[in-house]
Amino acid sequence: MTTSPSFTWTSDDEPVRAFPSGAAYVEALQNTALCFRGTDLAGAEVRVDALGRPRAISGNFAGVFSLTVSDGTRYAIKCFTREAREQAARYRAVGEHLARLDDDWTVGFDYVSQGILVEGAWYPVLRMEWVEAVSLIRWIEQNTDDPAAVSHVAARFARLVAELAAAGVGHGDLQHGNLLIGADGSVKLVDYDGMYVPALAGLPAAETGHRNYQSPDRTASDFGPEIDRFSSWVVYLSLVALATDPSLWRQLRDEDAEHLLLAEPDFADPAASFRLATLTSHPDARLRGLAERFQEILLHHRAAPPPLEPVEPLEPLDTVRTVMAPAPVNAALPSWMAERVQPHVPAPPPLVRFNRRAPALAVLTWALSVLLPLGVPAAIFVEEAIAVADVSALLAWTAITTLGYRRQPERSRARDARAERKRLHRARLAAAARATRLDKETRKITQEAEKSKEVHDYKRRLLQQRHNARLGAHQQAVKQHLDRIDRDRQTSLARMHLEEQRLLAVRQKEHLRAHLAEFPVKTAGVEGVGPALTTNLEAVGIRTAADFVGVRYDVQGPNRVAIFVLVDGRGVRVAGIGEVKAGRIDQWRARLTVKAANNRPTSLTPAEHQPIKDRFAAAKGRLDAQYKQVLDEAATTTRELQAALRAEQAVLADEMKAANTATARIRVDHDRAVAEATVVLERARQAAADGNTRADAFRTITYRRYLRFTLTGKG
């Protein structure tokens, strides 16, 4: 659903501040009545993901959410995770400029400074009209096998670029994610964060665009109406290539790649780019020429590329010719060859007849025509001599008429015309045979080119697979090594903690013993334990609560005997103290123990902790050094593997470029030969047809017709 574009703003720029994260926006949008309170978005329905959470389309320093308000209107809400200086002023300038345009690529938006409430603070949002369309890459994936549709989008994109230039506008980030294609092939341009309009002249760029679509030389100072030139070449070349040869989509990019047919490495080092080599050596002359033009830009004009130069005609694009049809004559001929072949429809010549008759021969012919029917039957009944005379006369008449026929000028001309017809017929057959042979060679060249491409694709996949295997094995070995170091770290840390716990336990025991030692038994006031029993306790070494750790009871016959357990583990009996009194003394100690536990040390002091830490510091440092060394060596090995891959890819690209160049040259020469053979064949056909027409004009010039002409004077 789309609406008429509208461009508004609600406030001036605010000081740069920290903005919420994408996750914070997701949390806030779970309650649109709260985060949009007081606005017409309050209570809007948010598009959610499979987990029921607001679904965000992430971009540069922003997330875009789909909201539908109560009347069914759908909006795209852009929530910023970083604030750019002059953000509101930039949007104001862009909005004012675009409002004066009448181009169908624009998308209406509102910049709302107090747009969304997150964690108690208001932040700006960009509310945009919702466009029912898909991103360029997704659209191409859905329409790869429809060259006419891709050609239409290429033409529409070229028109969009021209409209931007005419309006003095630079989008700043022409790339697949910002080009939306509708079901009808329309193109919408979104994300105006980095857009240039004349009112922003003199400011630096707010962003420098997607790296797979921008010149490696672009900086923030490059901000003007020409900033889209490089990216327009990148997008347009890819679209023309796909409209010409859809197989390039699978040949030149990996699945889920964030680029079309070319990417940043191709721009940085075009000489080593197998993708660019594939395009510059493609058999289609128009695509090859466009790719060579872009290659020239990369080599000589990368910092300041010229405006986009669309190919003509834009649509429909011709597909690569695989079979050369011998007719019609001007089909698929280059202009230089087509000019040599002109339509030829000759007028039929008049019928040729005999026009010179000998009177004496006519009289003789009449006489023989009367006498011969009578003379032949008579020969049966008369003498043999008379019959012989009749035969001699017939032979003489035949010789005379034959000689007369041969001396007729029409007969000589007829003979020449018929001979020429045979010669032209043989020439047409020879030209057709050559055209058929070249047609077979065309198929052979195409098959060899396809086979070469398959071999190259296989080598490229095998090269990538080998690299992935080497990289995977390397990463696995590094992970195992790091895991061992981590286990050693954990073991060392556990030992240090264990030693700390042991020392803490000792300190706690010392604290308990010191506390209990402050309470003598004689002042304990335990019920039933007087001076005499106190003396008996002291006699076995129990003077304070710290001198024993508890009481156990042994069974001796029917009685239970109380045994005091001393600090050293020995058990002693105390005269006069039985089970009850021993229990009271033990409870007295237990109460003191509880009191002591309330203020016992729960951690080591720094002075106590430092010696332990120092003892383990060396081991930790050694393990940390090993860990860093493994990471450094892993990074070095990874770079070496990547460098080896690039070197192997460069060699493969050179091989492919050489093969494609050779194939292209063969195709050029062969196509010229095919075109010439087509011209020769057509001319031979025309000449043979003319010869047939000329020879047909002499169809009455025969010996039988000559006899008729001699007798009647009618040819």
pLDDT digits (tens, 9 = 90+) for 198-245: 999 989 988 889 999 999 999 989 999 999 999 999 999 999 999 999
Q: What CA–CA distance (Å, rounded) separates 455 from 447?
A: 12
pLDDT at 497 over 90: no
User: Which range, 325-334, 373-382, 636-645, is most confident?
Assistant: 636-645
pLDDT at 267 over 90: yes
Q: What CA–CA distance (Å, rounded) separates 10 from 701?
A: 99
What pLDDT sits at residue 556?
81
Q: What's the full length of the chain, in residues?
A: 715
What's the rounded mean pLDDT across residues 532-541? Answer: 92
Which of 147-156, 240-249, 396-405 shows the lowest per-residue confidence on average (mean pLDDT)?
396-405
Q: What CA–CA distance (Å, rounded) separates 330 from 317?
A: 18
DSSP class of 173: -
Alpha helices in 281-320 (DSSP H): 285-300
- Residue 565 contacts residue 550 (beta carbons within 8 Å): yes
The band of 56, judged by pLDDT with boundaries at 50, 70 and 90, is confident
- Residue 164 DSSP SS3: helix
User: What is the residue whose two structure tokens read 């019609």?
Assistant: 328
User: Which range, 67-81, 401-415, 490-504, is most confident?
Assistant: 67-81
Q: What CA–CA distance (Å, rounded) separates 417 from 408?
A: 15
Q: Nearest Cα to 229, choosing from 301, 179, 295?
A: 301
Mean pLDDT, the chain, integer: 83
What pLDDT sits at residue 32?
92
Q: Nearest Cα to 485, choosing from 615, 634, 612, 610?
A: 634
pLDDT at 13 over 50: no
More confident residue, 251 or 279: 279
CA dihedral 247, 249, 250, 251 (to 10 degrees): 80
Q: What CA–CA distance (Å, rounded) separates 170 from 185?
A: 22
Q: What CA–CA distance (Å, rounded) separates 83 from 17?
A: 7
pLDDT at 338 over 50: no
Q: Nearest Cα to 361, choosing from 408, 397, 410, 409?
A: 397
pLDDT at 390 over 80: no
User: Which range, 310-319, 367-376, 562-571, is most confident?
Assistant: 562-571
What pLDDT sits at residue 16?
59
Which residues, 6 or more positions from 78, have their beta carbon under 8 angstroms from its beta carbon?
59, 62, 63, 64, 125, 126, 127, 128
What the chain holds in terms of domains, given with CATH numbers, is 7-129 (3.30.200), 134-300 (1.10.510.10)
What pLDDT sits at residue 11?
45
Q: Nearest Cα to 247, choosing from 452, 462, 453?
A: 453
What's the rounded mean pLDDT across residues 283-306? Answer: 92
What's the rounded mean pLDDT across residues 285-290? Answer: 92
- For residue 75, list its beta bridge partners: 67, 129
Q: Is the pTM of this model over 0.75?
A: no
What's the rounded mean pLDDT across residues 408-425? Answer: 85
Q: What CA–CA distance (Å, rounded) separates 16 from 111?
A: 16
User: What is the residue whose two structure tokens read 């191409």?
Assistant: 140
Q: What CA–CA distance (Å, rounded) separates 351 from 702?
A: 13
What's the rounded mean pLDDT across residues 500-513? Answer: 89
- Vertex 183: Cα angle to 180 and 187 (nearest 5): 35
What is the number of alpha carbons within 13 Å of residue 462 lying toward its C-beta?
A: 7
Q: For residue 652, give Cα distances in angstroms to 145, 238, 275, 644, 689.
A: 28, 22, 11, 12, 53
Q: Nearest Cα to 408, choosing from 26, 709, 104?
A: 709
Listed as own residue / partner, the contacts of 607-614 with beta carbons closer than 8 Å and 24 or more positions apart are 608/503, 608/507, 609/500, 612/496, 612/499, 612/500, 612/503, 613/496
pLDDT digits (tens, 9 = 90+) for 60-114: 678 899 999 989 999 999 999 887 777 888 999 999 999 888 888 988 898 998 8
Which residues, 6 or more positions from 263, have their beta carbon under 8 angstroms from its beta carbon?
212, 257, 275
Q: What CA–CA distance (Å, rounded) separates 562 from 547?
A: 16
The band of 196, judged by pLDDT with boundaries at 50, 70 and 90, is very high
